[in-house]
Amino acid sequence: MNRKIMCMGIVSMFILLSLTTLSVSAIETEITTKTGKTIYVDDDWEDDPDNHKWNTIQEGIDDAKDGDTVYVYSGTYEENIDIKHKSSNLIGETEEYPLIKGSLSLSKCKTSKVEGFKFHYEGTNYCITLSESQDCKFINNIVETDGEDAIEVESMGLISEKSLRNVISGNTITDKSQYHSIISIRLGYKSGSTTVSNNKITGGSIIIFSSDNRILNNNLIDCSDSSAIGVYKGLTSVENNWIYENTIEIPSYYVVGIDIGSDNNKIYDNTILCVGEDEYSHGILIGYCNENEVYKNDITDAKYAIAFYSDYQYCNSKNEIYRNTISHCNKGLYLYGENTKDNIIRNNKVKNNEYGIYIPDCSVDGFAQNNYIYCNSFKENEFNVCDANNLENGHGINKNKYYSSDLMKGNYWDDYKGSDKDGDGIGDTPYIIPDGDSDSTNNIEDIYPLMKEESGGKSKPVNQNLIRVLISKFLQTITKFLYGLPFIQTLLK
């Protein structure tokens, strides 16, 4: 018994030492990033190496060691700045941002920070690049381009390190050209876990080709001529991006507010407004992708508020669309193509649109089918619903379902004329789904039409115990490892 108690004591001691080591390591990392000398740069000075004073930023960077800060006074610096293998900070004077007429490259840097500069760029590549860099910050800067792309996080080469856990925040990024076709921020194939937040972007877009990024609280105005925010499949799997709490104003020509072209992402709490004419604008486009969640977004004045696209080859399925508010659009929910199937559309408020939900008759790519549409509110639309997938068109066998059999609930339709004699909140007669052709008879019904609007429904619960579970698994792993050591086994015998 004493030996077992001794073993348990040894195991506990190792666990405590492991946790202490992790804490000390974290503290040492924090101290390393905050300590070091300060190097000063002013374009009016003569170089003074002994006192670490320089008249170009690049000289200051070259003088810096890990933990140092390069402080730059206001002025104009016409240079392309290259920061390599550094863990140091580049800070501009806050009263008047130093102007850099050139580009900035961070390569193989860790925990470096760039803050407080104004960049004006007229080159051919990106103004700002982060390559093979981790835990770096580009914050509170102004970036102006004249038709050139602004910021790229990427790593080049087959054996290069990924760019991970970088932060791009609080920047003002503006395209001064008349075309507004730039990429303001590009997260490339070999990047990931990037936070892009609180940026004001005019005339550009955020394009994502990597996983585990967080895109939040950005304000995009007069967006690029493709997509304001786009998430696309690339050379590797692209998933688990969270895009939330952004404000997007899309112009009158063909622009998509948020374009989803990859799997397993979350799109929520965004506000998307189409300003001007809405000829081809899309609020959220879901194309050829699966298992995304789109919820609690507010979309106004678009041609298509939330649109699904698929064709005979690529599926668009198992996406869940819920608790969105859609108003004053031409088509609120638009489902196109026979491989747009098995999606869930629930608890949305769809009002004051020309069509609440529209499923077209498409002879080329077929009809959207087997989608589950329930607990939505269709109100004050010119036409609440048009679904061309019926028996007369030859596809009614795989028709869409406008109710939940499990919940025994359908949708609220403000043009439903039936009664509810038993007072259970469900209409006594089905609501017939129109197909848009007055000469044909549609066989699709909502058999549980709601007599009043549903509440927003429940979001998927957030696991509050995630950290506790991770710590528990970590301790279990250490315990299992220690009990497997030969001298512990000897003590136990």
Q: How confident is the model at residue 493 (pLDDT cuts 50, 70, 90)?
A: low
Residue 126: band (very low, low, confident or very high) from pLDDT cuts 50, 70, 90: very high
| Between 38 and 479, residue with greater pLDDT | 38
d(Cα 444, Cα 392) in Å, to the nearest integer?
Answer: 11
Most confident segment among 295-309, 363-377, 384-398? 295-309
Length of the chain, in residues: 493
- How far from 186 is each of 213, 319, 415, CA to CA, in Å? 12, 25, 46
For residues 355-377, give the mean pLDDT.
86
pLDDT reported for residue 366: 74
Q: In this predicted structure, what is the pLDDT of residue 262?
A: 94
Reading the block at residue 165, the tokens are 């856990």
DSSP 17: H
Q: In the chain, helix, strand, coil percent, each to 5?
A: 15, 35, 50
Residue entry with tokens 């007072």: 423
- DSSP annotation of 492 reads H
Q: How high is the pLDDT of residue 340?
A: 92
Which pLDDT band, with edges at 50, 70 and 90, does 462 fall under?
very low
Token readout for 488 is: 């512990």
What the block records as the tokens of 33 is: 């990033």
Residues contacting 465, CB < 8 A, separation 6+: none
| pLDDT given for residue 26 in this prediction | 40
Highest mean pLDDT among 2-6, 42-46, 203-207, 468-472: 42-46
φ, ψ (nearest 5 deg) of residue 464: -75, -15
8 A C-beta contact, residue 424 and residue 342: no
What pLDDT, in 10s, does the model give residues 401-443?
A: 999 999 999 999 999 999 999 999 999 999 988 876 544 556 7
Rounded to the nearest 10°, the torsion over CA 250, 322, 446, 288 is 60
pLDDT tens-digit readout, 134-144: 999 999 999 99
pLDDT in tens, 254-280: 689 999 999 999 999 999 998 866 567
Taking the C-alpha atoms of residue 160 and residue 469, their distance in angstroms, rounded to an integer, is: 33
Residue bearing the bigger pLDDT, 211 or 394:
211
Which residues are paired to 348 by β-bridges? none
pLDDT of residue 396: 47
Largest CA distance in the chain: 92
Query: Cα torsion for 51, 56, 58, 59, to the nearest 10°?
Result: -30
- The letter for the amino acid at 214 is R
- Percentage of the chain beyond pLDDT 70 is 77
Delimit the domains of the chain by residue range.
2-31+474-492, 41-455
Mean pLDDT of 314-340: 93
Please determine, for residue 392, whether its predicted confidence score (pLDDT) is greater than 90.
Answer: no
Distance of alpha carbon 76 from alpha carbon 96, whole angstroms? 11
Residue 125 vs residue 320, higher pLDDT: 320
Q: What pLDDT is recorded for position 140?
A: 98
pLDDT tier, 55 (very low <50, low <70, confident <90, very high otherwise) = very high
What is the model's pLDDT at position 284? 96
**DSSP state for residue 354 in the 8-state scheme:** S
Looking at residue 481, its pLDDT comes to 59
pLDDT for the residue numbered 23: 42
pLDDT > 80? residue 34? no
CB 89 within 8 A of CB 72: no
CA distance 195 to 218: 11
* Bridge partners of residue 386, in order along the sequence: 358
Mean pLDDT of 387-399: 62
| pLDDT attached to residue 33 | 42
CATH of 41-455, one of 2.40.160, 1.20.120, 2.160.20, 3.80.10: 2.160.20
Q: Residue 275 carries which side chain, given as an amino acid letter?
A: V
Q: 253: which 2 tokens?
A: 């020509």
Structure tokens at 337: 């193509």
Strands 445-446 and 431-432: antiparallel
**Distance, CA of 341 to CA of 10 (rounded, Å):** 57
Q: Which residue has the higher pLDDT, 444 or 480?
A: 444
Residue whose structure tokens are 């490259």: 105
Give the mean pLDDT of 346-373.
88
